[in-house]
Homo-oligomer: A and B are copies of this chain.
Amino acid sequence: MSEKLSDLEAQMHGLGARARDAATKLSHATPADRTKALQAMAQRLRAAGPLILAANEEDVARARENKQTAAFIDRLAVDQKRLEGMAAGIEQVASQPDPVGAVMAEWTRPNGLRMQRVRTPLGVIGMIFESRPNVAADASALALRAGNAIILRGGSDSLQSVNAIVAVLREALNESGLPGDAIQSVASADRAAVGMMLAGLSGTIDVIVPRGGKSLVGRVQEEARVPVFAHLEGVCHTYVHAGADPQKAIDITVNAKMRRVSICGATEKLLIDRAVLADLLPPIAQALESQGCELRGSEEVQAIWPMERATSEDWRTEYLAPILSIRAVENIDEAIAAIGHYGSHHTDAIITEDAAAADKFLNEVDSAIVMHNASTQFADGGEFGFGGEIGIATGKMHARGPVGAEQLTTFKYVVRGVGHTRP
């Protein structure tokens, strides 16, 4: 093992141990302590605007030198408006109920033992993200709301920006009497640091949350030895049932696909009941094309509206672009089967006025979020009222759907007796 790797290991394990200590202290703080610290974080972020913008300018200048794309630089850049967005986001999280200490259930046993299931913080969150510096502020706020410490590892391109933001947030914690080490960022740009985080830093990291492209998330899911809250992709379906209201079918489909094509909740596949295909495909296709959407369809769909032929690859592809593939289904059972087969268990919607069909769809589709007469673009922690989200999970364990503060908790059983011994 090289000397350099040993240094990095020592550095990373020190960081993990400090995070664990900070998490223990945080878990003993009160909800009011955490709210005060969150408010201080927002205030300090605003006050430190010039400092953060200057650090970000360095990152942006280097990205330009490295000939990064305009889209990349747009994700990286922080201006006054985005800075205010971060501060307001933290205030929004501060105004959310604190989940820690909530009694989730309580009951008394026939022998008089009193039982409670009580929410507790998860511990230490490892956040691995790419170029958007605002993730550092958003994720730190949600972690803190639930009494957790966080270790942030952004892309090397945003290192100056993330370090500046983290320094400000740590000052706010210290000022509020909470441990600054509850928020730390990995100083090294060495990719080996990510591998150490995925191995859990000797048991100090409780969960990894990756935010970024499919290759990052895929690597994390493949290599992590600790639990991961993530979705690899959002192959979201909108299903127009025979009982759909035509105008709702048009409006929802267009919004679900085109409002923002690059988010994980954007619809990528449209299923239409064969019985209404000839009636509903033309107005839906026309509305989508008028907004610049490229359509790809099965032969049956092509026969009604001219478009590219969808390949077998298309049915599984998350485009994150203004492209939609369309197929007809015989009935709701075929639609549910297609979603189970080709979807990614993220978010899927049915458009119908038929209550029994809606209930069947909502019951039988095994996705994190199932919707009736609503756009899949609502798949978002803010839209759910969670005061933001650290990510969206498609796994079945622990957290599923938008991951807000409440999903960053675990629980323990508190048992109160009066001298109870077990017979």
Contact = CB atoms under 8 A, between A and B. Distances in A.
A324 to B, nearest CB: 16
A259 interface: yes
Contacts of A401: 412-413
B252 A413 contact: no
A384 B115 contact: yes
A364 interface: yes
A259 to B, nearest CB: 6
B421 A400 contact: no
A421 B364 contact: no
Contacts of A358: 416
B370 A415 contact: yes
Interface in A405-423: 410-422
Contact of A412 (B206, B207, B367): B367
Interface stretch (A47-55, A56-64, A72-80, A374-382): A374-382
B417 A369 contact: no
A247 B421 CA distance: 12
Contacts of A368: 412-413
Contact of A366 (B378, B412, B419, B421): B412
B378 A420 contact: yes
Contact of A415 (B247, B371, B421): B371
Contacts of A206: 396-397
The copy count of this chain in the complex is 2
Interface in A98-114: 101, 107, 109, 113
Interface in A337-381: 340, 358, 362-364, 366-375, 377-378
A255 B417 CA distance: 14
A123 interface: yes
Contacts of A248: 419
A398 interface: yes
Contact of A383 (B254, B412, B422): B422
Contact of A420 (B123, B370, B373, B384): B373
Contacts of A256: 421
Contacts of A325: none
Given A373-B420, A417-B372, A378 B412 contact: no
A299 interface: no
A227 interface: yes
Given A385-B109, A396-B123, A374 B416 contact: yes
A245 interface: yes
Contact of A416 (B259, B373, B410, B414): B373
Interface of A: 24, 27-28, 101, 107, 109, 113, 115, 120, 122-123, 206-207, 227, 245, 247-248, 251-252, 254-256, 259, 340, 358, 362-364, 366-375, 377-378, 383-385, 396-398, 400-402, 410-422
A-B CB proximity, top 4 nearest: A374-B417, A255-B421, A248-B419, A374-B420
